[in-house]
Each structure stands twice: as C-alpha cells, then as structure tokens.
Amino acid sequence: MSLSKEVPADAFPQGFAWGAATAAYQIEGCWDMDGKGPSIWDTFCHAKGRVFEDQTGDVACNSYQLWEEDLKCIQQLGLTHYRLSLSWSRLLPDGTTNYINPKGVAYYNKVINDLIASAVMPMVTLNHFDLPQALENRGGWKSPEIADVFDSYAKFCFKTFGDRVKLWITVNEPYVCAKHGYEDGLYAPGLREPGTSVYLVGHNMLRAHSKAWHSYDANFRHLQGGKVSIALSSDWAEPLDPSNPEDVSATERYMDFILGWFACPVFCTGDYPEKMKTRIEARNLELGFSEGPRLPKFSEDEPNPLGTADFFALNYYTSRKVKNTSSHRSELSFKGDQGAEVVMDPSWPICGVSWLAVVPEGLRKLLNYIKETYNNPDIYITENGFSQIGPVELEDIERWQFYQDTLQEVSKAIRDDGVSVTGYFAWTLMDNFEWAEGFRARFGLFHVDFSRAELKRTVYHSGREYAAVISRHRTHIKLEKT
Ligand code: BGC
C-alpha cells in the first residue's frame, strides 16, 4: 500500500454524500421478535455447517433494540447519508402485503425519522440477500411470480416511507446473490445448481427491479421526487498478459459476466451483453444442453430494464488479474461459461478475508470504465471497505491507510477524469455478521464487542479519521459559500 497524504478538504464537490452502509440481517438481530417472519438467512444459519462456527444473525448487533446506539455512531461520524436495508419479512412476515406487521413499520419509521431529525439522508435498500422464507417456499427468486410480489412490496415501501426516503436501492448485488446462493451454495438459500439457476435468478431480480422502478416512476416520483437504482458489485479486472489477445478477451468476458450482466440491460441496451449471450449459446451446443435457453430472454410484454436506474450504485471491493482458461470447459457451470481464471497479483496485500486484495487504484479505473461503458452516469459508491481477521486492533492504521488511498483515488476520478461520483458509503458502520464468515471478519468503522450482551460500539481509529475528513470537507464548503 502506498503512503498517501491526508485527504484534502477541497477534494470533493459540494453536495457530495458522505455515508456508511449496513444491511438488516447483518445488524438487526431479534430474528423472530415482534411478529417478524423468518428469512432465508435465518433458515440457512440455523442449519449446521453453513457458517463459520455455526454462527447466526439471531442477535448480531441487536440494532432492532439498540438503534439509538447506532444513531450515536452515525452522528459521531458526521455522516450526511446512511444506507440501511429493510428486512422484508419484518415488514411483511410472509413476503406479501396480505399482512403488514405494524411493529416492523414502527421500527423503520423511527429509524428514518431519527435520521432525518439528525440531518442524515437515508438511502434504503429493499432487499439485501434476506428473502422471506415463505417466498422461498414458493420457489423464491427462481419463480417468475417473484417479480410481481417484489413489486407489491416495493410499492408498499414507497407508499409508507417514500415521503421521507429519497434514495432507493431495489436489490443489492444480484451477481453475488445469484452466484453464491444458487451456483456455489455459499450463501442462502445454499443451492448448488451450476450453470442454470444462476441466470434465472439474475433474470428474475432484473425483472423485479424493473417493475419496481416503473412503479415508482409512474406513481410516486411526481409526489415524492426520489431516485431509484439497483446496487451492482464489481471487481476491476485486467488481463494477466495484456499482449495476449486471449487474456484480453477473457478479461472482457469476466467483466461482462459480473457487471455487464446487469449493467448492460439497465444502462445500455435493454438486453444482456452480446458476448455473454453468444458465449452461453455456444456452450449449450458444445455441451449438448437442450433444455431451453439458460440465459432467459426479456419478454416484450413486460417493462424493459433499459433506463431503470436514476443513478449507478456501485459496490467495489477488489481487483483481479485475468487469464483465459478452458479448464472448466466440459462442465455445465457459470465458471465454464465465463472461461476466465483469476490470478492474484502478489504485490496486492490481502486484508482479512482471502478474496479481499487491497487495490484502491482499481476503483478509479473501474469508475472510468463505468463512465465510458455505461453512458457517464452519476455514480454513488454504495459499498467499499476493508476487513480485519484475528486480534482486534482498535488502532486500525492499515484500514485508515486503505480509506485514505481510496478517497484519493475517488477524488482523482472526479477532478482529473471527470467521472460524476456523487457519494461514497463506507462498508460498514460497525462490525457485524459477515455472512458465511460469521463475526470473525470485521469491516466496521466501529468495533462491536460481541462477547458481552451490551454489544458496546467503540470507534476505531479509521472511524475517527473518516469523521475528520467529513468535517474538514463540510467546513471547506461552508467557507466557500461565504
Ligand atoms: C455485501 C455486504 C458484505 C460485503 C463484504 C458485499 O458483497 O453487500 O453485505 O458484508 O460485501 O463481504
């Protein structure tokens, strides 16, 4: 990691959103309290052998009961924005609007009202991995009917909270959810159905998203004036050998199968990337697969995904070097379709979890790629962070170094490259339940003491420094105005 200077106060434009993000299942706990229905993550964690040491989000940070403590953390950081997700099954225990749980509504009303009273703008995600179990029992994201059920849930949320919430994310990371949930089985619902369900799930997520965006556009936008998008995760990828055309096209494929899969339909053409379509069709022939198209087609009878995002919501964590491979060629799998092998550059440090190579400069490159490829959208970086595993260091110097380097890269993308970055959300406000890693991977700006019932939050060095950057920025903008 390079040693960078302090982030200058004038590095970011006026109105820049300074945020931190969380997700309901990772922080709320109280998994069956006050009428909440179970989600697929409750079921997944309650089965043994899925999560590190069989840990669960049953209690997590207990944000359902300790919201006021979270609010203090948000205020201490001086955030202008806070990204949270709603637990769908806390609001609608069986996933449908047949029954609305008043205690769930009251909880989120309090959270949203407290944020607004503290001059913090909420950005609200409707679904961050935790699909209601009752819907999973009806086929979940694999079932075509999910798009309409999601649309009803979205309309209910717009109607109930949209007078105050102006930034909405429909679905978080369809790539991660489809790949880990249905291809690799690492995330809920833990299915391993390689090369097939992954595309169906991604498709239904896009259909659900599009319907919800169109509902907002037609019925709520003129009254509420908010914006709606979908949060897309992507690595930045570069060819291992830039002079080898096969590595170059494997890298393009890698990006298309992660980001283009969702960004191309929404921001470019209303359809999947050409290279993804032809590759999957060619592989169907090669493997003699004849049970219908694996990559579904968008129906003309439904709203098209093109144009269904009012901004680009990007979650960036890491970068990869990519080389061409045919090693999974004979198997029906996403990997075989993608035909790209990832290689870690040995010069990139790894932070905590094995997949997380620390490459802040990859973010600037990815922002430029998005500007060029997806028609220069306004971009919110809706997640970006650094994890620790092992003995906790409250003086997390390396994490702060990472944030400083990253913010420098973002500022260069804005100032030098003309990318329209409108905000940055650190992942995450406080240590929480890191999915299959349980509590051992800590991404927080606040430390949480999971060994005691009070679940005390204590600011890390990185949290203090992030607060100082935000405060310097705010003072600078005030001075500029006078
Ligand atoms: C997810 C977060 C997660 C983070 C770190 C993202 O994929 O949206 O929920 O905690 O990565 O793994």
> Is 383 tagged catalytic?
yes
What is the three-class DSSP state of 226?
coil
Q: How confident is the model at residue 19 (pLDDT cuts 50, 70, 90)?
A: very high
| pLDDT tops 90 at residue 184 | yes
Average pLDDT over residues 141-150: 98
Tokens of 183: 């291809």
The rounded Å distance from CA 330 to ligand 1 centre is 31
Ligand 1 centroid from CA 436, angstroms: 11
d(CA 67, CA 429): 12
Q: What is the DSSP letter of 299?
A: P
Q: State the pLDDT confidence band at 328, using cuts at 50, 70 and 90.
A: confident
Calculate ∠ Cα 450-454-457, nearest 5°. 65
Average pLDDT over residues 301-321: 98
**Measured in angstroms, how far is the CA atom of residue 315 from the centroid of ligand 1?**
8
- Any ligand 1 atom below 6 A from CB of 173: yes
**Per the residue annotation, which of 383, 409, 434, 437 is the catalytic one?**
383
Ordered structural domains, the chain, with CATH: 9-481 (3.20.20.80)
pLDDT at 305 over 60: yes
Give 164's pLDDT tier (boundaries 50, 70, 90): very high
Look at residue 5 in the predicted model and tell me its pLDDT: 67
Q: Could you give the CA distance from residue 153 to residue 96 in angstroms, rounded to a whole number?
A: 7
Quick one: pLDDT band at residue 412, thresholds 50, 70, 90? very high
What's the whole-number mean pLDDT along residues 119-137?
Answer: 99
**Cβ(176) to ligand 1 under 6 A?**
yes
State residue 326's pLDDT score. 85
- pLDDT higher than threshold 50 for residue 400: yes
In this prediction, residue 21 has a pLDDT band, given cuts at 50, 70 and 90, of: very high
Instruction: Report CA dihedral (192, 197, 201, 206) to the nearest 10 degrees.
Output: 140
Residues 410-417 have a mean pLDDT of 97
Give me the sign of the Cα torsion angle 311, 315, 318, 319: negative
Percent share of the chain, pLDDT over 90 = 93
Pocket lining: 427 vs ligand 1, CB cutoff 6 Å? yes
From the CA of 387, how far away is ligand 1's center (Å)?
A: 11
Average pLDDT over residues 266-272: 98
Query: Is residue 11 predicted with pLDDT exceeding 50?
Result: yes
Q: What is the pTM of this model?
A: 0.98
CA dist 388 and 376 (Å) reads: 34
Partners of 180 in the β-ladder: none
The stretch 334-344 carries a mean pLDDT of: 96
What percentage of the chain has pLDDT greater than the value 70? 99
Average pLDDT, the chain: 96
∠ CA 130-317-416, rounded to 5°:
130
> Could you read off the pLDDT of 428-462 as tens digits, one per residue?
999 999 999 999 999 999 999 999 999 999 999 99
Q: Identify the helix (H) or strand (E) that includes residue 362.
A: helix 360-373
Model pLDDT for residues 80-116, shown as the tens digit of each residue: 999 999 999 999 999 999 999 999 999 999 999 999 9
Atom of ligand 1 nearest to the CA of 233: 7
**DSSP state at residue 457:** E
